[in-house]
Chain A
Amino acid sequence: MPNRKLVRAVSTFSTYLLTIFLLISVVFILVRLSPGDPTLKYLSPQFNPQLHETVKNNYGLDKSVGEQYLRFLVNIAHGNLGVSYTYREPVQSIILEKAPLTLFLAIISFVLQIAVSVGLVQYLHQHRGKWLERALNKISLIMYALPPMVVGIGLIFIFSIVLKMFPIADVVSTNFDQLNYLQKTFDLVKHFTLPIITLSLPGIIIYYNYIRENVVATEKQTFVKFLFANGFENEIIFKKHVLPNSINPLISILGTELGILLGGAIITESLFGLPGLGRLTVTAIITRDYPLVVGCVLLTGFFVLLVNFIADLYKIKRDIQLSQSINISD
């Protein structure tokens, strides 16, 4: 049945549409609940009341709440997120300027997390029961308990302040323009090493533990014993059968993980002084730049929802393939 895939995809899509709608509504309710008169941001109360009325009229604040809500929805649908108080520029252009850095950080550390944790599991499988594996398991249990903030501060203290190996903050050095290409690359790598480690280390440990537990659980299943009894080599069984089975469940948490990464980017960017989306959000809150806060949160929320949606589509495809293969074999 080719339509089954489509039906499930459409139903998932409608759920996500509803979620976006809910997100926007929550934002609207919060904006309405916030105390204070928003027009006071633009003019002093000592000005004449006529001007006050004009500003209110311009922003549509004299209309009913329902009308304001509709206007909010229409504006967001048009990609119009308002004008930032501090930058005096449209919010969407500011965000688009800052977003690439955060996305770059998130994607790099996501790839790194998967690659390093799978590699570690694979490498340590050959050394099962030896001191290296036991030591790493103990370390991972301790590191499990470390919040990203603590990891970042520790790394900065050890590598930037005591050992002076990496710079403390910023994206590039001050003399970046005078360097040649090789030095420029080296400079960038130097600046991004610590932030990426900070962002990806907690995830690496979680994935390592998760995959390891899955491997242990999979190895107890009968098909592995069957393969072993058939005379396959241990290495081949592990690489071709156990590991793929253990990694597969990771796809379902891809969206959540991206959300955690983008949240972690807030702390990482503030720690290392990187001008990304996370730091923009924090400064926007501290300077009470409400349109910018709304824009940042909405954009991040949309992005996480998009990734969740893609992960869901993949799950649907896999589920249907699975059920079809079972039907054929029956």
Chain B
Amino acid sequence: MTKKIKIWQAIVCCLLLIAIVRFNEVLISVKMLFIFFSLLFSDYSSALSLIKEKIVDQFTSLLILPTLLFLILILRRKIFWLSKKCSGSALMVILLILLFLFAPLLAPYDDNLQFNLPQAKRLTPFSTQQLVEKVNPEYGNNKLDTFHKYENLLFREFVSSDYYLADEPIENVKSGEITSAQITFVLGTDEYGRDILSRIIYATRYSLMISFFAIVISGILGIVLGFVSGYFGRYTDVVLNRIVEMFLAIPFIFLVILSVAFLGDSVTTVIIILGFAGWMSLFKVVRSEVLKLKAKDHIVTAKMIGMSLSNLLTKEYLPLLLPSISVNLVFQFAYILVAESSLSFLGITGNYSHPSLGGMIQQGFASLSNAWWVALFPTMVITWIFFIVHNAVRKMNGSESNIFR
């Protein structure tokens, strides 16, 4: 039964599922987007002042949702891998990518929202609490106020007398002013009363983003330098090879630790350092492949015609190099993800504005004896991503190869 589902069907199902499960949030965001656009025409300056990182984030994932849906429905026959059969590992990859794209829609609360501690400290998974919410009468009826009202609904960053948890439902509810609803913390809360599910969704996305950009950097470095080394040969080849061998002799993690210690631990620095630390294996792969391809007829012909160097790389070499490059990059992706989470686990990096998986594990490790769930779920996510990557590489290779760089 599962074998008959195709990849585009799986993606469409997941997208619809997101839209249905998080319907409330999607609806509010649509309203916000509508108000924002109408404000953009009537009151230009105040609309621009509304733009924040979180709102941009929310709007992007909201806009991606229908766009992706329609694109896939339209292109399902044109892109060949969309109509392939969906295996278990493909489904995992799809879920991971969707988690990355729609994190703001999927997360029930803000990642740094602390509920009131007496009620929300270290709640076990699936524990329920009463959420008391006061419908604010202070907001007026004009567009700006409505926008702020919805914004407050979606991105609450702290609890107040209008919004808090209680043990029991409030009995004397005045109609329209105070509402109380039962909410469930599916993965529990941590010691500061933050919802772990929301934190994990944002942390996964953040860790994936860091590894992705690092991969882009090391990919560009590895491909360009490997191509230069393999194509020109002679002295450049010797010099670059020596340098790479020297870098490979120094353990990866020490290079990163050293750089982080001296250059600081902001996100951009960490991305650049991880990217610069991981290009060596790709360099070796690209160089050896280019050396093999150099004597092939079609490439010699392309050179004779007078193709420029960049054209030669992008149009002749890259399509042939793609399989080995992608395998290497996917491996490197997992490697960098684990390196990043190890670093933030050790407390060397991880002072970001968002949670990261390693930081969450560190926090959970400190309270492992009283609250096992805080550490369990982030570790499960890391293992899950690592497993997906290994599965994907095994599929690409046909069999597993050795992973010694």
Q: Which A residues lie at the B interface, using CB under 8 A?
A: 15-16, 18-19, 22-23, 26-27, 30-31, 33-35, 141-142, 144-147, 149-150, 153-154, 156-157, 161, 206, 209-210, 213, 253, 255-256, 259-260, 262-263, 266-267, 270-271, 281-282, 284-286, 288, 290, 293-294, 297, 300-301, 304-305, 308
Contacts and interface: CB of A to CB of B under 8 A. Distances in A.
- Chain A's interface: helix, strand, loop or mixed, by majority? helix
B400 to A, nearest CB: 7
Contacts of A213: 400, 402
Determine chain B's interface SS by DSSP, over half rule. Answer: helix
Given A142-B387, A282-B348, A297 B249 contact: no
A154 to B, nearest CB: 7
A206 B402 CA distance: 8
B232 interface: no
B249 A293 contact: no
Interface string B364-378: 010011001001000
B303 interface: no
A263 B261 contact: no
B404 A285 contact: no
A281 B400 contact: no
B295 to A, nearest CB: 27
B379 A210 contact: no
Nearest to A305: B249
A149 B341 contact: yes
Contact of A22 (B246, B261, B383): B246
Contact of B347 (A156, A271, A284, A286): A286
Most buried by B among A15, A157, A285: A285
A174 B320 CA distance: 63
Interface in B240-257: 242-243, 245-246, 248-255, 257
A304 B249 contact: yes
Given A145-B386, A150-B383, A209-B400, A18 B246 contact: yes
Interface residues of B, number: 46
A150 B251 contact: no
Interface in B337-383: 338, 341-342, 345-348, 358, 361, 365, 368-369, 372, 375, 379, 382-383
B245 A15 contact: yes
A161 B365 CA distance: 12
Nearest to A22: B246
Contacts of A284: 261
Contacts of B249: 16, 19, 255, 304-305, 308
B203 to A, nearest CB: 15
B365 A153 contact: yes
Given A142-B387, A157-B372, A308-B249, 10 more contacts: A33-B263, A35-B264, A147-B383, A153-B365, A161-B368, A281-B257, A284-B261, A286-B347, A288-B261, A290-B262
B110 to A, nearest CB: 27
A262 B255 CA distance: 13
B390 interface: yes
B342 A149 contact: yes
Nearest to B259: A30
B190 to A, nearest CB: 16
Contact of A145 (B345, B387, B405): B387
B254 A300 contact: yes
Residue of A157, A161, A294 most packed against chain B (CB within 10 A): A157
Contacts of B390: 141, 144-145
The residue in B253, B255, B389 that gathers the most chain A C-beta atoms within 10 A of its C-beta is: B253
A156 B251 CA distance: 27
Contacts of A255: 249
Contacts of A157: 368, 372, 375
B269 to A, nearest CB: 11
A30 B251 CA distance: 17
B304 interface: no
Contacts of A22: 243, 246
B263 A267 contact: no
A166 B387 CA distance: 29
Contacts of B260: 285
Q: Which of B243, B259, B358, B404 has the most CB of A within 10 A?
A: B404
14 contacts: A23-B246, A23-B250, A146-B383, A156-B368, A210-B402, A213-B400, A256-B405, A259-B251, A260-B251, A262-B254, A286-B348, A293-B257, A297-B257, A301-B251
A153 B252 contact: no
Most buried by B among A255, A284, A301: A301
A266 B253 contact: yes
A256 B258 contact: no
B257 A285 contact: yes
B368 A304 contact: no
Which interface residue of B255, B262, B345 has the most chain A CB atoms within 10 A?
A: B262
B51 interface: no
B28 to A, nearest CB: 37
A150 B379 contact: yes
B369 A206 contact: no
B71 interface: no
Contacts of A26: 255, 258
A267 B382 contact: no
Contacts of A304: 249-251
Contacts of B358: 149
Q: Which 10 A-B pairs have the closest CB atoms?
A: A259-B251, A263-B253, A34-B262, A19-B246, A145-B387, A30-B262, A145-B386, A147-B338, A285-B261, A22-B246
Contacts of B259: 30
A297 B258 contact: yes
B1 interface: no
B216 to A, nearest CB: 22
B254 A153 contact: no
Nearest to B370: A161
Contact of B348 (A19, A210, A285): A285
A146 B341 CA distance: 13
Interface in B5-43: none
Residue of B252, B261, B372, B405 with highest tally of chain A CB at under 10 A: B261
B403 interface: yes
A301 B250 contact: yes
